Amino acid sequence: MSSEAIVEEFQEYIQKISHLEEAIGLMTWDLRTGAPKKGAARRGEVIGTLSSEVFQLSTSSHLKEMISHLNQEETWISLDEITKGSVKECEKTIRKFENVPADEFKAFIILTAQAEQAWEDAKDKGDFASFQPYLEKIVDYQRNYADWKGFKGNRYNALLDDFEPGLTTDTIDEVFTQLKEAIVPLVEKISKQNAPETNYLFKKFPVEQQKRFSRKILESMQYDFQAGRLDTTVHPFAIGLNPGDVRVTTKYDEFDFRTAVFGTIHEGGHALYEQNIHPSLAGTPLAGGTSMGIHESQSLFWENFIGRRFGFWEKHFDLLKEFAPGQFQGISLDEFYKAVNVAGPSLIRIEADELTYCLHIILRYELEKALINGDIEVTDLPEKWNEKMEELLGIKPSHDGEGVLQDVHWAGGAFGYFPSYALGYVYAAQLQAAMQKDLPQFEELISSGNLAPIKEWLTENVHQHGKLKDPLQILHDAAGEKIDASHLIHYLTDKYEEVYNLREQ
């Protein structure tokens, strides 16, 4: 077979995998946004079957043979950048799964689909015991998976590599220690101050009005509704089926509009990444975020560095008042800005302020690492969770629904994912610093509502590349730096000294 024929066959092969993954994605979206509960078990089996097919295709001897031919020097030099990148991504997947028994993988996919439903019920009831058997099986699989895959140093590195290639626990421990040493004292310091008035934030704000306002915000962010939609779910997420179909979900609370507004902005940041991956990457394994940390940098950039900025509300506060008539009557822009930036210990990660957010992630990372290394067991989690909440944030959950059960990630088997949230915050601060150098009118763009140049900078430097660049390369090319928490620490310190008038003391 000629080299050209092998290239064509390879491209058709990876296109088939992408079609199956899109079908799985659509079913997963449906499962999380309103599929009937009685159909959940069957849906989990269908997702498991299709995922098993993707697993088989992604690790098949036929794919390995094609890759072997494409890696031959005379063929390799003739390949375009996208095909080369696709080959490398396929090789990563093969290395990831080549020692994983196919029946174990299929059982794990079915388990996690069922576990998500069990988690949702357990969370509502604050009943960890009912979820514990599922989680024990998931943790057992993750420990085995780390051993099947292989790792250097800490066992947790095997899981971390799936979400943040190039980073290890050594680097994360260093960065997270840097964050803890700066943030914990700052949280303690502001806790002693008089917080801005916030009572008016918690008046009834009808869900339908929140939906309309959330849609307006997504539009101002340059989210393309011709290539997406906004839906409601228990745990907000964004999902990219393909660059032309990237869906956002959010959660509404009639007595705390911030949940939906900032949640929508956050998930909208994820969606902008997926919508603006270069069209030439569609249908290849490169058509996704290069890492979960870089992905999270986009959502946190929009949620915090844009959505919680004074300039953003200079443009959008009057619009908000139109959708919530009377709620903010007599409230100045400065008062509102400080109110939505109030910081302090809280129980729920997705509702945490931007100052304490990283502490929630550090808690989860430390527990995950201990679980995977066998230093603690699943049965220990509620107690260990509460201990770390007191250690880092000085508060303790009253029940497991607002504690160890609050996140869906472990039910979905996403161990190794949580560090990406805090890493993404660090990346976002570094990208903002670089953006401000390239866009000296940065503040004026935000206060005028002209967010297009900001989105275009992100598309040029981050979005369009998909997985053609790894996370550290993205950071180096866009910001000229290695991972460094100092930008984030300076940002948080400066902001909260201003919000809490610490500079005047």
142-173: per-residue pLDDT in tens?
999 999 999 999 999 999 999 999 899 999 99
Residues 267 and 144 in one domain: no
- What whole-number distance in Å separates Cα of residue 433 and Cα of residue 384? 37
198 and 293, same domain (yes or no): yes
For residue 41, how far is the Cα from the chain centroid? Answer: 26
Q: Which domain-ending residue is among 124, 152, 180?
A: 152
Strand order in the sheet with 230-232: 230-232, 245-250, 238-242
CA separation for the pair 366, 362 (Å, rounded): 6
Residues 174 and 99 in one domain: no
Which residues belong to the annotated binding site for Zn(2+)? 266, 270, 296
Residue 25 lies in a domain: yes
pLDDT at 97: 87
Q: Confirm whether 160 is domain-assigned.
A: no
Residue 275 maps to a domain: yes
Q: What is the C-alpha separation between 350 and 372, in angstroms, rounded? A: 24
pLDDT at 505 over 60: no
In terms of domains, do 138 and 194 share one?
no
pLDDT tops 90 at residue 234: no
183 and 126 in a common domain: no
Domain presence at residue 163: no
Same domain, 188 and 139: no
CA-CA distance, 231 to 249, in Å (whole number)?
A: 5
End-to-end CA distance of the chain: 77
Which of these three, 152, 180, 211, is where a domain ends? 152
Amino acid 192: pLDDT:
86
Same domain, 112 and 203: no
Tokens of 504: 């005047």
Least confident of 293-307, 337-351, 369-383, 429-443: 337-351
Residue 372 pLDDT: 98
What average pLDDT does the structure give for the chain?
Answer: 95
Instruction: Judge whether 379 lies within some domain.
Output: yes
Q: What is the pLDDT of residues 462-492, one digit of tens each?
A: 999 999 999 999 999 999 999 999 999 999 9
pLDDT of residue 504: 61
Catalytic residues: 267
Distance CA 132, CA 381 (A): 10
Structural domain that includes position 346: 169-504
Q: Does residue 1 carry a pLDDT above 80? A: no
**Which strand (E) or helix (H) includes residue 83?**
helix 81-97
Same structural domain for residues 265 and 137? no
Single-letter amino acid, residue 154: N
Q: How confident is the model over 90-105, as a mean pLDDT?
A: 91
Q: What is the pLDDT of residues 240-284, one digit of tens each?
A: 999 999 999 999 999 999 999 999 999 999 999 999 999 999 999
- The H-or-E segment that residue 231 falls in is strand 230-232
End of a domain among 102, 119, 152? 152
Rg, the chain, Cα only: 23
Q: Please give the tally of structural domains in the chain.
A: 2
Q: Are residues 396 and 427 in the same domain?
A: yes
DSSP for 380-438, written as a single string: GHHHHHHHHHHHHHS---SSGGGTTTS-STTTTT-TT-THHHHHHHHHHHHHHHHHHHH
d(CA 47, CA 403): 29
In a domain, 159, yes or no: no
- CATH code (residue 316): 1.10.1370.30
Is the same domain home to 350 and 470? yes
Torsion of CA 496, 500, 501, 505, to 10 degrees: -100
Residues 122 and 185 in one domain: no
The CATH number of the domain holding residue 93 is 1.20.58
Task: Report yes or no on 164 lying in a domain.
Answer: no
For residue 40, pLDDT beyond 90: no
pLDDT of residue 9: 97
Convert the pLDDT of each residue in 333-383 to its tens digit.
999 999 999 999 999 998 789 999 999 999 999 999 999 999 999 999 999
Verify that 51 and 123 share a domain, yes or no. Answer: yes
**Residue 282 placed within a domain:** yes
